[in-house]
Chains A and B, each alone.
Chain A
Amino acid sequence: KVKQASIMNFFQKK
């Protein structure tokens, strides 16, 4: 089963 990741898992808040 695949799950949609959030873009915030990859890029950090500035």
Chain B
Amino acid sequence: MFEARLVQGNLLKKVLESLKDLLTEASWDCADTGIQLQAMDNSHVSLVSVQLRADGFDKFRCDRQLSMGMNLTSMSKILRCAANDDIITIKAQDQADNVTFVFESPNQEKVADYEMKLMNLDQEHLGIPETDYAAVIKLPAAEFQRIIKDLSQFGESVVISCTKEGVKFSAAGDIGVGNIKLAQTASVDKEEEAVTIEMQEPVTLTFACRYLNMFTKATCLAPQVTLSMSPEVPLVVEYKIGDMGHVRYYLAPKIED
């Protein structure tokens, strides 16, 4: 028996919004520690990793490990039927071929349940090595979304360059060149408005706008986003899911041919 109840059901709605453009199907791996998902996009350019810890749920029961393969487009359609303040419960029997989503209004006067077929997905899992990144940049998630959206007009790629002076995002194309520089904030009223840079060595990498734009669908999840970079390794773009976990996107860089 698997059952997970989340009073703050809108967190799950937001997680799905942040995955559905990048992934069409994926497996949710459930254990007594929580729920995890790891999947590559169809082109194998990026990898998404989601963690939802058991202690972040209001009720969590998982008698035996199970992997629930789901069509994320369908899951997203179902979660769109939940109101933002609904309590969401996910339920499945052991070795079941379907999963049930229950949405309760806060006053319990409306209860809806939706059943969805599970899929048998033979998904490859990749081992992500522990890495000490050369540069870790934290910035407001909305600011990052705006930068990527603005620079996407210029070309297919964004160059992210981090030095001790700050971080620079650049794009070039037929209409011209765009550069956006962010310095570390000296002082801010609110922590979530801060730009902070921890840098061991300068690093410059080139990434596809298309993927960065899809990652920014997670902007609704968290006030801040963390970018971790090292020379010639994938970029990590991380959004926290409340205090119960995270969505991490790994994006392979564009490299000199």
5 closest Cβ pairs, A-B complex:
A11-B126, A5-B252, A2-B254, A3-B257, A14-B125
Q: Is the CB of B256 within 8 A of A13?
A: no
Contacts of B253 in A (CB 8 A): 5
- A1-14 CB contacts (< 8 Å) to partner B: 1-14
Q: Is the CB of A7 within 8 A of B126?
A: yes
Q: Is the CB of A1 within 8 A of B252?
A: no
Q: Is the CB of A7 within 8 A of B208?
A: no
Q: State how many angstroms separate the Cβ of B202 from the closest Cβ of chain A.
A: 19
Chain A residue at smallest Cβ distance from B38: A14
Interface residues of chain A, those whose CB is within 8 Å of chain B, are 1-14
Contacts of A13 in B (CB 8 A): 124-127
Interface size of B as a range: 20 to 34
Interface residues of chain B, those whose CB is within 8 Å of chain A, are 40, 44-47, 124-129, 157, 206, 208, 233-234, 250-257
Given contacts A12-B127, A14-B126, contact A7 B250 (CB under 8 A): yes
Given contacts A1-B257, A11-B47, contact A6 B126 (CB under 8 A): no
Chain A residue at smallest Cβ distance from B211: A4
Q: Is the CB of A7 within 8 A of B255?
A: no
Contacts of B252 in A (CB 8 A): 4-7, 9-10
Q: State how many angstroms separate the Cβ of A9 from the closest Cβ of chain B.
A: 7
Q: How far is the CA of A13 from the CA of B47 in the complex (A)?
A: 12
Which of B45, B127, B157, B257 lies in contact with A11, CB distance below 8 A?
A: B127
Q: Is the CB of A8 within 8 A of B126?
A: yes
Contacts of A9 in B (CB 8 A): 252
Contacts of B257 in A (CB 8 A): 1-3
Q: Is the CB of A4 within 8 A of B254?
A: yes
Contacts of B251 in A (CB 8 A): 7
Q: How far is the CA of A7 from the CA of B40 in the complex (A)?
A: 8
CB pairs A–B below 8 angstroms (6 shown): A4-B45, A7-B251, A8-B126, A9-B252, A11-B47, A11-B128
Q: Is the CB of A3 within 8 A of B127?
A: no
Given contacts A2-B206, A12-B127, A14-B126, contact A7 B254 (CB under 8 A): no
Q: How far is the CA of A5 from the CA of B206 in the complex (A)?
A: 11
Q: Is the CB of A12 within 8 A of B126?
A: yes
Q: State how many angstroms separate the Cβ of B218 from the closest Cβ of chain A.
A: 18
Q: How far is the CA of A10 from the CA of B131 in the complex (A)?
A: 12
Chain A residue at smallest Cβ distance from B125: A14
Q: How far is the CA of A2 from the CA of B184 in the complex (A)?
A: 29
